[in-house]
Amino acid sequence: MDIKIRFAKKDDAQGLAELDRIAHKELENWVPNNKADFMKIIRKFKDSLVVAKKDNNIIGYLSLRLDKDSGWIWIENIYIINSLRKKGIAKDMIKKATHYLRRKHSRRIVLLTPDRNLAIFSKLGFKKTMNFMEFIGERK
């Protein structure tokens, strides 16, 4: 399987928007971006999207966000099309991003993930350092 992992370019915007629509259908909390949104992100923050391509089609992406106040870099979204999951593509995208960011920015790289994914991210050099709680409503 020949998968190319690289930072996004302007000509990836349409493919990213199409993939985001698929992600939104699958994941109810996924907020999709359109082509114009991706163009703006790529122009303004050229190192903020890592794409995985197979046969010239975008099959996955990872988005990054720099918090200027803390200097932390957040991995915000990781999405791979369902048929190509569990093949190491997300791992390769994370390695591409973290290697580059450590060299260029040397900032803290963080992500939020459910506990069920802790083992996966631990293998990639992440360590659980805090707990995250979501407000779901007051108990009666």
Whether 43 is in a domain gets the answer yes
Whether 24 is in a domain gets the answer yes
With beta carbons less than 8 A apart as the criterion, state whether 73 and 88 touch: no
Gap between the Cα atoms of 55 and 57, Å rounded? 5
Signed CA dihedral, 83, 33, 64, 116: sign only: negative
Owning domain of residue 44 = 3-112
Whether 73 is in a domain gets the answer yes
Whether 125 is in a domain gets the answer no
Within the chain, residue ranges assigned H as helices are: 13-26, 35-44, 89-104, 118-123
Whether 8 is in a domain gets the answer yes
Number of domains, the chain:
1
> Residue 97, Cα to own-chain centre: how many angstroms?
9
pLDDT tens over the chain, length 140 residues = 699 999 999 999 999 999 999 999 998 888 899 999 999 999 988 889 999 999 999 999 999 988 888 878 889 899 999 999 999 999 999 999 988 887 776 668 888 887 888 888 888 888 888 877 777 777 77
Axis-axis angle for helices 13-26, 35-44 (nearest 10) = 120
What integer pLDDT is reported at residue 26 of this predicted model? Answer: 92
With beta carbons less than 8 A apart as the criterion, state whether 108 and 72 touch: yes
CATH code for position 84? 3.40.630.30
Whether 122 is in a domain gets the answer no
Whether 70 is in a domain gets the answer yes
Separation of first and last alpha carbons in the chain? 53
Whether 133 is in a domain gets the answer no
